[in-house]
């Protein structure tokens, strides 16, 4: 990968990191609101649960973006963390923070669905 390409990916990742940090800092949606009406309580709880899930998703994405930035710094960006093959340029263009090539990502997704802890550990270490 050329220095120009790395520079482009670094800029994209830094912009995404800034965006995600702003989103993660805003935790107003998860505050507990009390209401005299039981239906309002249920609605607030459902909205809070959705906000928590979104916050969790954004936090995981932020962790992946930071990991990709570290890989740029240490020179391993664009290399699959599992099989150590090159990640396709198309995949990186679509998902610049991708730690795995498409085949390993598919395997990780299957293992996650099946509850396989070995590949789950690789996913955690990637972030």
Tell me: the pLDDT tens digits for 109-125? 888 777 665 555 655 55
Percent over 90 (pLDDT), the chain: 56
In angstroms, rounded to a whole number, what is the distance separating the alpha carbons of residues 18 and 13? 9
Q: What pLDDT, on the 0 to 100 scale, is given for residue 45?
A: 85
Tokens representing residue 92 in the block = 């990186």
Whether 102 has a pLDDT exceeding 90, the answer reads yes
Q: What pLDDT, on the 0 to 100 scale, is given for residue 121?
A: 60
Q: What pLDDT, on the 0 to 100 scale, is given for residue 2?
A: 87
Whether 15 has a pLDDT exceeding 80, the answer reads yes
Q: What is the DSSP string of the chain?
A: --HHHHHHHHHHHHHHHHHHHHHHH--GGGS----SSHHHHHHHHHHHHHHHHHHHHHHHHHHHHHHHHHHHHHT-TTB-TTT-PBPPHHHHHH-TT--S-HHHHHHHHHHHHHT-HHHHHHHHHH-
Q: Which fold has domain 1-77?
A: 1.20.120
Q: What pLDDT, on the 0 to 100 scale, is given for residue 24?
A: 85
The confidence band for 85, taking pLDDT boundaries of 50, 70 and 90, is: very high
CATH 1.20.120.910 domain extents, the chain: 1-77
In angstroms, rounded to a whole number, what is the distance separating the alpha carbons of residues 84 and 102? 12
* Token pair 């935790």 in the structure block, residue: 27
């Amino acid at each position: 990968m050329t220095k120009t390409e790395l520079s482009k990916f670094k800029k994209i990742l830094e912009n995404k990191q800034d965006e995600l940090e702003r989103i993660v800092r805003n935790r107003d949606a998860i505050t507990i609101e009390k209401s005299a009406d039981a239906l309002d309580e249920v609605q607030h709880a459902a909205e809070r649960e959705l906000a928590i899930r979104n916050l969790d998703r954004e936090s995981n994405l932020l962790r992946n973006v930071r990991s990709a930035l570290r890989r740029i710094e240490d020179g391993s960006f664009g290399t699959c963390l599992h099989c150590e093959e090159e990640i396709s340029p198309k995949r990186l263009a679509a998902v610049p923070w991708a730690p795995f090539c498409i085949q390993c990502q598919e395997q990780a997704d299957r293992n996650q669905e099946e509850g396989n802890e070995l590949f789950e550990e690789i996913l955690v270490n990637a972030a």
